[in-house]
Amino acid sequence: MEKKVGIIITAKVTDENEQSFFAQIDGVTYEIDKSELQKPLHIGGLVTGFAYENQSNQLQITKNIPDVRLGHYAFGTVTDVRRDLGVFVDIGLPNKDLVVSLDELPTIKELWPQRGDRLMITLRIDNKDRLWGELATNEILNAVRIPAKTSMKGQKHVKATVYRLKMVGTLVLTEDFNMGFIHPSERYHEPRMGEQLDTRVIGVRPDGILNLSLKPMAYQAIDGDAKMILTLLQRSRTGRLPYNDKSEPESITNYFGMSKGQFKRALGHLYKEHLIQQDEEGILLVVDQSTNDEQED
């Protein structure tokens, strides 16, 4: 007698008790929880569902077919982390989470998925007929990905999930199944596997892969004194103000309401972000805000 798990099977209903029906196929008995049925089964009839071994090590059939099956890939949600084993992932089974082995996870455990993160997985059966979660490979994701359109350049708030961590950068999959890449220079820290990110599109490669950033645009990253100076420049008809780091402290305080030291630090910030130029006549806005958006993207 060989048990079947991880696939959809059809078995013959043979018995019932108060909580469950029981069905057999090839002499192997499976339990069906009555609470998930919309109408009762009949002894001698057939039942079709997904076969698996539940957390009590009992064979079970569920009518709620999960998207994650043998040869089928879908996202599951991480429910728990065990450093000696791996991470547990909910794929929709009523009483069973799958384990993704630590062998498939990053060497640096701080980059492991956390509860609530998402992993794209399929099923794997080991030589003891136990079900495991297996991460989707680059080949699989390349087969299902949708090439991004060039019109996506500049798009903000693109939701993406990390599926691979590499030395060269972070690989992600968006909600629309576009693949994306985040260079280390476009993030403040390395995201963990399975983390869901809010990104912006800074480029679209010829192969339809997105270049993404986790950093705000320069003008968004500026605050305080620098932001006020930038706003005044943007509201100026000429994009110029007759003040620079040589101006008299009193005139700077009267116009900007800040000390000359604060003014010079703010100018340094704006200059570093390539937002202003300075000459003998004052400071000049390099680009207006809309143009800056395009340059930054």
Tokens of 53: 């071994």
Rounded alpha-carbon distances, angstroms, from residue 207 to 137, 162, 296: 18, 19, 21
Note down pLDDT in tens along the chain; length 297 residues.
688 999 999 999 999 999 999 999 999 999 999 999 999 999 999 999 999 999 888 999 999 999 999 989 999 999 999 999 999 999 999 899 999 999 999 999 999 999 999 999 999 999 888 999 999 999 999 999 999 999 999 999 999 999 999 999 999 999 999 999 999 989 988 999 999 999 999 999 999 999 999 987 765 556 688 888 988 888 888 889 999 989 999 999 989 888 898 899 889 888 887 888 999 899 998 864 433 443 344
Residue-range domain boundaries for the chain: 8-62, 74-136, 146-213, 219-296
Is the Cβ–Cβ distance between 32 and 48 less than 8 Å? no
Residues in the chain: 297
Pick the CATH number of 8-62 from 3.40.50.10490, 2.30.30.110, 3.30.70.260, 2.40.50.330: 2.40.50.330
| Per-state percent for the chain, helix, strand, coil, to nearest 5 | 25, 35, 40
Q: Give which of 41, 38, 32 is closest to 61, Cα–Cα.
A: 32
Taking each continuous run of H as one helix and of E as one strand, the counts in the chain are 6, 18
Tokens of 24: 């057999």
> Which class does domain 74-136 fall in?
mainly beta
Rounded alpha-carbon distances, angstroms, from residue 210 to 68, 179, 232: 26, 6, 35
Residues in CB range of 169: below 8 A, 6 or more apart: 181, 182, 183, 184
* Nearest-angstrom CA–CA distance, 213 and 297: 9
pLDDT at 297: 40
Whether 146-213 and 219-296 share one fold: the answer is no
pLDDT at 292: 41
Long-range pairs, 36-41, Cβ under 8 A, ≥24: 36/62, 36/63, 36/64, 36/94, 37/63, 41/13, 41/16
pLDDT at 269: 84
Distance of CA 40 to the CA centre of its chain: 41
* Nearest-angstrom CA–CA distance, 33 and 31: 7
Q: Give which of 272, 266, 273 is closest to 295, Cα–Cα.
A: 273
Distance of CA 32 to the CA centre of its chain: 35
Pick the CATH number of 219-296 from 1.10.3720.10, 1.10.10.10, 1.20.1530.20, 3.40.50.150: 1.10.10.10
Pick the CATH number of 146-213 from 3.40.50.300, 3.30.420.40, 3.20.20.70, 2.40.50.140: 2.40.50.140
